[in-house]
Each structure stands twice: as structure tokens, then as C-alpha cells.
Amino acid sequence: MADSHPELMRALRHRGLGHIHSDRGLAPRALHDLERGVAEGRFVAVGPIVARSALGGSLLSPVELRFARPELDADETVAGLAEMVLRMLGPPGRRLRHRPSLSARPGLTRGVTV
């Protein structure tokens, strides 16, 4: 989206961190999903609130990176980020190897492998 909607991404880049812990928008849903993932044993996290904070920063960081280093391969960056976020949440190792490929998503041509 940084390439297709740069104005929107600039706003997100400068104001996004303030919304990570909001009681509105996607933040409550993200917290619920993290709590559920921890309860079901899919994630091993310090705590859902801390995990949401780390994930929020992880999602905003590539936006900043895209503006700072536009020459980097966006697909490679997204694939690397997906792997790092999953490792950060701590799913069992075998699950990392069997996650879906990003190449199934429109606009992405590279799969994610570990």
C-alpha cells in the first residue's frame, strides 16, 4: 500500500502507534485474537497486551522502511516480516514450516518458506 496509497501510508506512519492500544478500531479485535491464540496454544506470548504492542510496531515498521528504502524488494520484506512475527509469537516449529504461501495473495509473487 505504500506504493499505491502513499498519502494514507504517510498518515499511518506518523499517527499509527497511537492507535495500537485504542479501545476502538482493530485494536480490540487484535487483542481478542491474541488472547484466543495464547489460550489455544497457537502462540506463546509474554501477554496479549505486550504482544499486541510488539505486533503493532512490527506492522508499522515496514511502512517506514518502504519510505526510507524504496529500493528493497517489497515481497522479500513482507515474507521476512511474516516469519519474524510468527517466531516472535512462538508457535511450535512444525507450524512455521506449514503456513500458507504469501504467493496466493494478489500482488505477491513470492512464497514464504522457513
Alpha carbon 12 to chain centroid, angstroms: 14
CA–CA distances in Å: residue 8 to residues 15, 63, 70: 11, 11, 16
Over the stretch 69-90, which tens digit does the pLDDT of each residue have? 999 998 898 888 888 888 888 8
- Residue 106 — very low, low, confident or very high, per pLDDT cuts 50/70/90? low
Residue keyed to cell 504461501: 101
Q: What is the rounded distance in angstroms from the CA atom of residue 73 to the CA atom of residue 78?
A: 9
Over the stretch 24-36, which tens digit does the pLDDT of each residue have? 888 899 889 889 9
Q: Residue 67: its pLDDT value, please?
A: 84
Q: What is the pTM of this model?
A: 0.60
Q: Which residues contact 12 (CB under 8 A, 6 or more apart)?
A: 60, 63
Over the stretch 60-70, which tens digit does the pLDDT of each residue have? 888 888 888 99
